[in-house]
A and B are shown apart, each in its own frame.
Chain A
């Protein structure tokens, strides 16, 4: 191993490192800095720490220097980042993420546009004001192009279905364990009452309770805020609707937006359901609004992404747009990474841009995550790590990203690489991903600590992947 280049000095270069961790169970006894060869890579360092910990079962570890994952040898890392090998380098070690393995797939009759999870760790339960803490068996909610909502238990059984939408459902979410919100091509936001058995193995029901009219065109995505009972809808009519699930909070629906009665279509069922209008319509985007999310820390603030290339910040108390960030491509998805204080937005140009929405930010894009080969249409934050997120794309994959995994680009741009690629289980055995994601596009993704990474797509499947602990 020493004979590869003549230029290398015979004696291996060494560097003093100080190993630390924030996980109590893998703490090293305080040893002070240790001297290691600079040619060490992640794997050798992991072996070294495991030996020092005297673990019986090795714990795979990742190493961070200045908040960046070590992806090369120590030597290359220090050179690339201009760190002198003469100083003591602080090296933080963390448990390596376990590859999210396929757990189950639930088959649908048509394309799956959106997914959500109800579990003890889901926001719909954690953010409830009532302190009731029953142990619910997890449920998975899916919205499909066949116009139906389905609620599944973890044994691949449909425990409730919702039929009221007159065409494809594009978004569905749990507002609380008993309230489901959905929207789609029929321009309505619908509120449903979810009756369920706590065991998760008995049939429950989904009954429509409210029909909300305000949009003039298809609704592409929803955001819900459990504590304030607020709902946001991103529509291709260029506006964002602000709604509540409480009938009495909402004004009457505009007559002109209600569906034209058609004798041949039975509306008897739907007509029993009260119809209401929005609390407010947020206007300012110049093209379709693709996605919307609440600020994770301030429920009066929301963010939206649009085909008009912009990300907008909204003050929900005044319904005013308070900030606009312009990028150079159509934006298809958005998610707020609360601890990093960044917005992740998925683009038509196949990457994810990380945008700092704070007024003081000087650059448009704080970082770019590259790897997808088609539009990035859905994003979700890792519920357990402030550094990680998952994306779904029309390329037929979901990708897990870690903001600490940075690839040193040629220019000044900070580029991140995905740490895991989740393929469709339905495409298993194929050597090559189909061109244009044909047949495997992934439309929606959700990340729950209990259930794992749940995604739905063109393969008519809800797919669950989970990394081990």
Chain B
């Protein structure tokens, strides 16, 4: 492990690494209690949030104006919200209780073309399920651990057009770049073999790719261009090739309890955040151990994110701060990445030992959004 302080003198001046976020420009007020998840739409105009109050909200990103509020539950929290990564549709997947709800936000947030396309996408699986009743494409028996249903008409009127019910509460949802596959992680499930699921939206299909998973699954992500799938358990990150159905690589970040992972948009570097205050940078072409260990927080780090297009990353911690870094990954794998700490942003007040719960980047700009207690 390298002490980052010892690297500081050789690093470029942060002022030469602009743009990066430096001030708070808008607050999004309305949620009651913790906001557990937030996500910016692929066009960079709207912010979706979900939290303890069981609501999903859509906000105008620039002004902080709440445009829509949708109550999914009166008793259960919304654990994650995530826009489907397509510009032709306008769909939010929201994990609430044991359900994943697929929402087309109403109120002029999507245009008629997007609305029609989104409905087609959410409907197509019903047709597929009818014509292929008992078997999945692979010929395997369809697991009964997942149910794809049409919600009640009351919910449909509010824009909830598809419900996926799992046996155990999904805490994480990760989309594949194309927006047809997505994966959920239900860490509290009794059977570890069903903790990780990969779903096909167009076929309403659910598969559990791992019969035996060593360790408790925390979070997952898809590679941007290769058929690789990253699974983080408490202490390990494993990389699987979904086509070959084999384990490609096992990373040993050396963390006691991993909280989040973020894969660089080029797919060659992975950030791992941990509840034991460490942020770990893995170069996937190098060793199984981290290329860099960053210790900048006094409390657990809950979330980490690479910027989708700029050389930036950010993490959010229970100490109530965000740390913004410059992280330049060379396209040429022979050159190592440079990491420069840029700015500490004061985030939310620390309430009940919880500070910043989630962080997200704007798809193009050096703007990040964070959530915590309201």
Interfacial residues, chain A to chain B (CB-CB below 8 A): 111, 145, 166-168, 185-187, 216-218, 236, 256-260, 264, 287-288, 307, 328-330, 332, 348-349, 373-375, 394, 435-438, 441, 443, 458
Whether the Cβ atoms of A257 and B111 lie closer than 8 Å is yes
The main secondary structure of chain B at its interface with chain A is: loop
Whether the Cβ atoms of A441 and B63 lie closer than 8 Å is yes
B285 within 8 A of A: no
For the complex, what is the distance from the CA of A186 to the CA of B364, rounded to whole Å? 24
Complex A-B: 26 CB contacts under 8 Å? A167-B67, A168-B65, A185-B108, A187-B108, A216-B113, A217-B43, A236-B43, A257-B111, A257-B112, A329-B19, A332-B62, A348-B25, A348-B365, A348-B367, A349-B19, A374-B23, A374-B25, A375-B62, A394-B26, A435-B27, A436-B23, A436-B25, A436-B26, A436-B27, A441-B26, A441-B63
Whether the Cβ atoms of B115 and A438 lie closer than 8 Å is no
In the complex, residue of chain A having the shortest beta-carbon distance to the beta carbon of B364: A287
B29 within 8 A of A: yes
Whether the Cβ atoms of B25 and A394 lie closer than 8 Å is yes
For the complex, what is the distance from the CA of A166 to the CA of B65, rounded to whole Å? 16
B24 within 8 A of A: yes
B116 within 8 A of A: yes
Which residues of chain B are within 8 angstroms of A187 by Cβ–Cβ distance? 108, 111
Which residues of chain B are within 8 angstroms of A260 by Cβ–Cβ distance? 112, 115-116
Whether the Cβ atoms of B113 and A435 lie closer than 8 Å is no
With A394-B63, A436-B27, A438-B29 already in contact, the answer to whether A217 and B111 are too (CB < 8 A) is yes
Which residues of chain A are within 8 angstroms of B67 by Cβ–Cβ distance? 167-168, 185
Which residues of chain B are within 8 angstroms of A394 by Cβ–Cβ distance? 25-26, 63
- Quick one: which of B107, B113, B157, B365 contacts A307, CB cutoff 8 A? B365
B45 within 8 A of A: yes
Whether the Cβ atoms of A145 and B65 lie closer than 8 Å is yes
For the complex, what is the distance from the CA of A349 to the CA of B19, rounded to whole Å? 10
Whether the Cβ atoms of B112 and A438 lie closer than 8 Å is no
For the complex, what is the distance from the CA of A288 to the CA of B365, rounded to whole Å? 12
Whether the Cβ atoms of A216 and B111 lie closer than 8 Å is yes
In the complex, residue of chain A having the shortest beta-carbon distance to the beta carbon of B110: A217
Q: Which interface residue of B23, B25, B29, B367 has the most chain A CB atoms within 10 A? A: B25
Whether the Cβ atoms of A111 and B25 lie closer than 8 Å is no
Which residues of chain B are within 8 angstroms of A437 by Cβ–Cβ distance? 25-26
Which residues of chain A are within 8 angstroms of B111 by Cβ–Cβ distance? 187, 216-217, 257
B74 CB to closest chain A CB, in angstroms?
24
With A168-B65, A259-B112 already in contact, the answer to whether A217 and B25 are too (CB < 8 A) is no
Which residues of chain B are within 8 angstroms of A185 by Cβ–Cβ distance? 67, 107-109
Which residues of chain A are within 8 angstroms of B157 by Cβ–Cβ distance? 264
Whether the Cβ atoms of A443 and B27 lie closer than 8 Å is no
For the complex, what is the distance from the CA of A375 to the CA of B63, rounded to whole Å? 10
A334 CB to closest chain B CB, in angstroms?
16
With A256-B113, A264-B157, A394-B26 already in contact, the answer to whether A443 and B63 are too (CB < 8 A) is yes
Q: In which size bucket is the chain B interface? A: 20 to 34
Which residues of chain B are within 8 angstroms of A167 by Cβ–Cβ distance? 67, 107-108
B354 CB to closest chain A CB, in angstroms?
20
Which residues of chain B are within 8 angstroms of A259 by Cβ–Cβ distance? 112
Which residues of chain A are within 8 angstroms of B23 by Cβ–Cβ distance? 373-374, 436
Q: Which interface residue of A186, A217, A349, A374 has the most chain B CB atoms within 10 A? A: A217
With A438-B29, A441-B63 already in contact, the answer to whether A218 and B45 are too (CB < 8 A) is yes
Which residues of chain B are within 8 angstroms of A288 by Cβ–Cβ distance? 44-45
A230 CB to closest chain B CB, in angstroms?
25
A356 CB to closest chain B CB, in angstroms?
24
For the complex, what is the distance from the CA of A287 to the CA of B18, rounded to whole Å? 20
In the complex, residue of chain A having the shortest beta-carbon distance to the beta carbon of B68: A167
Whether the Cβ atoms of B115 and A328 lie closer than 8 Å is no
Taking A216-B113, A328-B19 as known contacts, 8 extra A-B pairs with beta carbons closer than 8 A to each other, sorted by chain A number, are A111-B65, A185-B67, A217-B45, A218-B108, A287-B364, A375-B25, A436-B24, A436-B64
Binary contact track B12-48/A, C-beta < 8 Å → 1, others 0: 0000001100011111010000000000000111000
For the complex, what is the distance from the CA of A374 to the CA of B24, rounded to whole Å? 9
For the complex of A and B, list the 5 residue pairs with the smallest distance between their C-beta atoms, beginning with the closest. Answer: A167-B108, A436-B24, A186-B108, A438-B27, A216-B111
For the complex, what is the distance from the CA of A375 to the CA of B365, rounded to whole Å? 14
Which residues of chain A are within 8 angstroms of B108 by Cβ–Cβ distance? 166-167, 185-187, 218
B31 CB to closest chain A CB, in angstroms?
15
For the complex, what is the distance from the CA of A348 to the CA of B19, rounded to whole Å? 11
In the complex, residue of chain A having the shortest beta-carbon distance to the beta carbon of B26: A436
Whether the Cβ atoms of B29 and A258 lie closer than 8 Å is no
For the complex, what is the distance from the CA of A259 to the CA of B26, rounded to whole Å? 31
In the complex, residue of chain B having the shortest beta-carbon distance to the beta carbon of A286: B364
A368 CB to closest chain B CB, in angstroms?
15
Q: Which of B71-114 contact A (CB under 8 A)?
A: 107-109, 111-113
B142 CB to closest chain A CB, in angstroms?
33
For the complex, what is the distance from the CA of A130 to the CA of B319, rounded to whole Å? 67
For the complex, what is the distance from the CA of A186 to the CA of B67, rounded to whole Å? 12
In the complex, residue of chain A having the shortest beta-carbon distance to the beta carbon of B107: A167
For the complex, what is the distance from the CA of A166 to the CA of B112, rounded to whole Å? 14
For the complex, what is the distance from the CA of A111 to the CA of B24, rounded to whole Å? 20
A442 CB to closest chain B CB, in angstroms?
11
Which residues of chain A are within 8 angstroms of B116 by Cβ–Cβ distance? 260
For the complex, what is the distance from the CA of A94 to the CA of B100, rounded to whole Å? 67
For the complex, what is the distance from the CA of A261 to the CA of B367, rounded to whole Å? 37
A101 CB to closest chain B CB, in angstroms?
28
Which residues of chain B are within 8 angstroms of A330 by Cβ–Cβ distance? 365
Which residues of chain A are within 8 angstroms of B25 by Cβ–Cβ distance? 348, 374-375, 394, 436-437
Which residues of chain B are within 8 angstroms of A287 by Cβ–Cβ distance? 44, 364
In the complex, residue of chain B having the shortest beta-carbon distance to the beta carbon of A287: B364
A142 CB to closest chain B CB, in angstroms?
16
A8 CB to closest chain B CB, in angstroms?
38
Which residues of chain B are within 8 angstroms of A375 by Cβ–Cβ distance? 25, 62
For the complex, what is the distance from the CA of A145 to the CA of B63, rounded to whole Å? 11
